[in-house]
Amino acid sequence: MKTHRLARVAEAVREVASETILFEVRDPRVKFVTVTRAEVSGDLQHAKVYVSVMGTPGEQQKTLKALRHAAGFVQSKLGDRLQMRFIPALTFVLDEGVKKSIEVTRLINEALGKTPGAATEAAPEAAAEGQEGTEERAEDSPQDVGSADGPADKDRAEP
């Protein structure tokens, strides 16, 4: 199977699942859900839809159970969109990527000795430094700067 076809089908699965969950699933347990990605098997028979759910682990499990219950409905909407002999069977999986990235960022900040409020305190100083740098750049005129090809030639006449 060609990889670009798998990628196109995976993107269609992600789009349809996202739109259907957001606008058409009426289950009150399904809330704060973001479809992050979709993976389709090589034979296009199965698809994993990775979702990120905001909330406690208990709420996440309730939402995942509701999504698994609504998988047939989402699959029928996918069948309306795709013109294929077989529509992939959907499996919803909780995506831990967002949670892990937040945890890694927290660990990096902790290792660097930064506190969550330190970033907002340093912002005014960085803004003041940024303004000084723009004054220096403003002194250069556009004719003196040149281009990506090299420095400007002052001897050349402009057309």
In a shared domain, residues 107 and 58: no
Identity of residue 133: G
Both 17 and 60 in one domain: the answer is yes
Q: Residue 46: beta bridge partners?
A: 89
Report the C-alpha gap between 154 and 90 in whole angstroms.
Answer: 65
Residue 149 lies inside a defined structural domain of this protein: no
Phi-psi region of 32 (alpha: psi -120 to 50; beta: other; left: phi over 0): left
Whether residue 74 sits in one domain with residue 46? yes
**Count of all residues that appear for the chain in the document:** 159
- Residues 50 and 87 reside in one and the same domain: yes
Please tell me whether residues 41 and 91 are part of one structural domain: yes
Residues 33, 89: Cα–Cα separation, whole Å: 20
Instruction: Note whether 34 and 75 are same-domain residues.
Output: yes
Q: State both tokens at 131.
A: 């303004």
Average pLDDT of 92-96? Answer: 95
d(CA 44, CA 9): 8
**46 in the same domain as 14:** yes
Pair of tokens at residue 95: 């995506």
> Is 126's pLDDT higher than 60?
no
pLDDT at 98: 85
pLDDT tens for residues 135-158? 444 444 555 555 555 555 555 555
Model pTM score:
0.67
The pLDDT, as a whole number, for residue 143 is 54
68/82 same-domain check: yes
The residue-averaged pLDDT of 68-90 equals: 95
For residue 119, what are the domain limits? 97-133
